[in-house]
Structure 1
């Protein structure tokens, strides 16, 4: 794909974007879960179920708060920044107007997702009476993108940023989809995630197409320089460190004995995935590399050899 082949999704956005078509989601006062058990394995551990099963809902509510906090950081500090610079033609990689118009719809969507998430957080606090513990001030991308950008010349930083955001947006889409399919959670939560997914499916394709436009026009020396730092980005992006720190803070907030608290910390230490081809997010990431045509390049194949099955 080259820039002249790009076709805008403006009409689809006008007809289907959640900011155009969806009502406000109101959290229900029912017996369904506020957050999927599968996304907080701490509550499924034998130690938790034997020692403090009555605190399950507190842990799930706090986990929802972290998820919402992550969404707000991701949408407003990561995706918004890149999409806005593309839309305003302040990006080193130049794109035609159709791309820039679509980038501005991404800005609108992502800021709206953050607003909806903040609204849902306030509704949940009002319903449950549970205030959030101290939430992380950053997400994995907050570290991974700067770490990768520091390894390439200034002239390539925007191109690498485009690729990093593309990886993240394509990963998020499957993450939200799994959330939206869980029938154990409240309908409002499922609806919130289904709304988000409707927009993110469009976004993931947008970032893959822009990356494809850049990659197919990039000279080989740029491809090689970017490929070399992909493991730096993935190593930071796939880490469990921020989640682990949050889980430790959550355990500290539980009204339990110190012995049980220490046992739960040991459970958390065993939850991290290896950062290699076995990591559950790698399938989504490799699909992005294929869709963007990056995986056709031998330099990318070489750089990702530890991540390929």
Structure 2
């Protein structure tokens, strides 16, 4: 794809964007969960189940608050920054007006998602009376993107930022879709995720198309430099260090005995996703590499050789 082939989704945005079409989501006072058990393995651990199952709702509330906080950081500090720079034509990779218009709709959507998430958190606090005790100041991308940018020349940093954000947006879309299908949580939360998914599906396509446009005109030497930093980005992005730190802080906030806390810390220490081809998010990342045409390039295939067995099984 080249920039002349790009078709704006402005009409779709006007007709379907959640800021245009969705009502405010109000959290229900019912028996359903605030947050899926599967997304907070700590509460499924043997020690938690045996010793402090009565604290489940407190822990799940904290999981929801972290998720919302992560969304706000992602939308306002990472995606907003890149999309706004493209929209205002202050990006080293130049795009035509149709791309820049769509980038501004992404800015509007993402800031709206952050606003909706903050509203939902306040509703949840009012309903449960549970205050957030842990709100991280960064997410994995807060570390992964700078780590990748530091390895390329200044002239390529915007291009690398574009690709990193595109990877994250495509990964997030599939993650939100799984959340939206979970029947254990309150309908308002499922609705919130479904609303988010409606916009993110459009965003993931947008970022993949911009990446394809850039990659199609990038010189081979630049492609090789960028391919070389992709494993570094992935390794930082797929760690669970921030989640593990959150879990340890959550344990400290629980009203439990020292021996129980120690046992929980041991179980948290054993929880880690592999960063190789078995990582559950890697399939989403490799799907993006295929859809954006990066995986058609020999230097990218070589750089990602350690991750590609998953891609071969999916094909």
The ranges of structure 1 where at least 4 consecutive aligned residues each deviate by more than 6 angstroms after the TM superposition are: none
Q: CA deviation at 1:47?
A: 1.2
Question: Are residues 1:76 and 2:76 paired?
Answer: yes
Q: CA deviation at 1:139?
A: 0.3
The corresponding residue for 1:247 is 247
Q: For 2:297 and 2:156, how far apart are their aligned partners in 1?
A: 17
Question: Are residues 1:305 and 2:305 paired?
Answer: yes
Q: For 1:268 and 1:108, how far apart are their aligned partners in 2?
A: 38
The 5-angstrom pairing of residues 86-97 of structure 1 reads: 86-97=86-97
Find the residue that maps to 2:136 and give its secondary structure. coil
Q: For 2:266 and 2:216, how far apart are their aligned partners in 1?
A: 47
Aligned length: 309
Question: Are residues 1:283 and 2:283 paired?
Answer: yes
Q: For 2:268 and 2:15, how far apart are their aligned partners in 1?
A: 44
Q: Deviations over 1:65-87 (max 9, x none)?
A: 00000000000000000000000
- 8 Å CA contact 2:47–2:263 kept in 1: the answer is yes
Q: Which moved more, 1:63-72 or 1:130-139?
A: 130-139
Q: For 2:61 and 2:305, how far apart are their aligned partners in 1?
A: 39
Q: TM-score, normalised by structure 1?
A: 0.99
Q: CA deviation at 1:138?
A: 0.3
Q: Which runs of 5+ in 1 are unaligned?
A: none
Q: CA deviation at 1:200?
A: 0.1
Q: For 2:35 and 2:267, how far apart are their aligned partners in 1?
A: 20
Q: Deviations over 1:203-233 (max 9, x none)?
A: 0000000000000110100000000011111
Find the residue that maps to 1:78 and give its secondary structure. helix
Q: For 1:289 and 1:270, how far apart are their aligned partners in 2?
A: 31
The corresponding residue for 1:51 is 51
Find the residue that maps to 1:94 and give its secondary structure. coil
Alpha-carbon RMSD across the aligned residues, in angstroms, is: 0.5
The corresponding residue for 1:260 is 260
The corresponding residue for 1:198 is 198
Q: Deviations over 1:248-305 (max 9, x none)?
A: 0000000001111011111111221011101000000000000100000110011111
Q: For 2:134 and 2:10, how far apart are their aligned partners in 1?
A: 39
The 5-angstrom pairing of residues 95-114 of structure 1 reads: 95-114=95-114
Q: CA deviation at 1:134?
A: 2.7
Q: Which runs of 5+ in 2 are unaligned?
A: 310-315
Q: Deviations over 1:23-56 (max 9, x none)?
A: 0000000000000011111111111110110000
Q: For 2:142 and 2:64, how far apart are their aligned partners in 1?
A: 20
Question: Are residues 1:159 and 2:150 paired?
Answer: no
